[in-house]
């Protein structure tokens, strides 16, 4: 099993320490690398952290848009991707994904309800499900909803594309170690 993860961000984050602590290699992929048609990497999974669409925190959104076709190929080829909240008032923040999704920004604790049994529910393992910090909801999407707020607002969306999977979450916390060990590990890496 391999678990090499690409963390898409402008500079190294503490998030990478958690990934490495769980037994996998984590490589920071900055926006210049991501948008370059000449750069190639191989990963089991990619992570897009919270705040990726907020220019006060990151310049990642233009690079995601420039590499949208490569992202689709990566997922279709068996890659996995975990995308967090955009972190700002932008309904179009997810227009680079290979499926329709809109985002409604709104930071605060929400009670999490699972829509059924799913291996992706472990994202929230160890958290108080009565008050999980989230930064928004996904009012329009064509994916499968795995978790909602108590008001029925989508908080965790998944979409299988080809041999891969994209999960989009508005949780404003790190994913659980249990989730990291399951979602990011794979028997192969996919070319990006």
Of 71-80, 104-113, 166-175, 181-190, least confident by mean pLDDT is: 181-190
Neighbour count for residue 62 (Cβ, 10 Å):
14
Are 103 and 90 spatial neighbours (Cβ–Cβ below 8 Å)?
A: yes
Q: What are the tens digits of pLDDT across the range 160-170?
A: 999 999 999 99
Give the Cα separation of 139 and 143 in Å (integer).
Answer: 11
Are 5 and 191 spatial neighbours (Cβ–Cβ below 8 Å)?
A: no
Mean predicted lDDT score pLDDT of the chain: 94
Q: What are the tens digits of pLDDT across the range 60-98?
A: 999 999 999 999 999 999 999 999 999 999 989 999 999
The pairing of strands 45-48 and 5-8 is parallel
Under CATH, what is the fold of the domain 5-191? Rossmann fold (3.40.50)
Write out the DSSP string of 100-131.
-EEEEEEEEEE-EEESS--GGGGGGTTS-TTS
* Residue length of the chain: 192
Give the Cα separation of 30 and 13 in Å (integer).
Answer: 11
Are 84 and 170 spatial neighbours (Cβ–Cβ below 8 Å)?
A: yes
Write out the DSSP string of 160-192.
EETTEEEEEE-B-SPPPHHHHHHHS-BSS-EE-
Predicted TM-score (pTM) of this structure:
0.95
The residue behind tokens 């607002």 is 153
């Amino acid at each position: 099993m391999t678990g090499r993860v690409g963390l898409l961000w402008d500079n190294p984050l503490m998030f990478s320490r958690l990934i490495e602590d769980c037994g996998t290699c984590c490589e920071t992929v900055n926006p210049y690398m991501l948008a370059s048609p000449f750069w190639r990497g191989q990963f089991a999974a990619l992570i897009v952290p919270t705040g990726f669409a907020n220019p006060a925190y990151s310049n990642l959104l233009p690079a995601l848009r420039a590499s949208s076709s490569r992202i689709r190929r990566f997922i279709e080829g068996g890659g996995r991707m975990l995308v967090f909240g955009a972190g700002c008032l932008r309904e179009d923040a997810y227009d680079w994904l290979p499926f329709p999704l809109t985002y409604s920004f709104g930071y605060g604790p929400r009670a999490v309800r699972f829509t059924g049994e799913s291996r992706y529910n472990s994202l929230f393992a160890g958290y108080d499900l009565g008050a999980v910090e989230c930064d928004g909801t996904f009012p329009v999407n064509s994916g499968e909803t795995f978790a909602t707020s108590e008001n029925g607002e989508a908080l965790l969306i998944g979409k299988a594309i080809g041999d891969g999977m994209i999960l989009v979450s508005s949780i404003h916390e790190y994913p659980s170690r249990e989730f990291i060990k399951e979602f990011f590990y794979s028997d192969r890496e996919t070319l990006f």
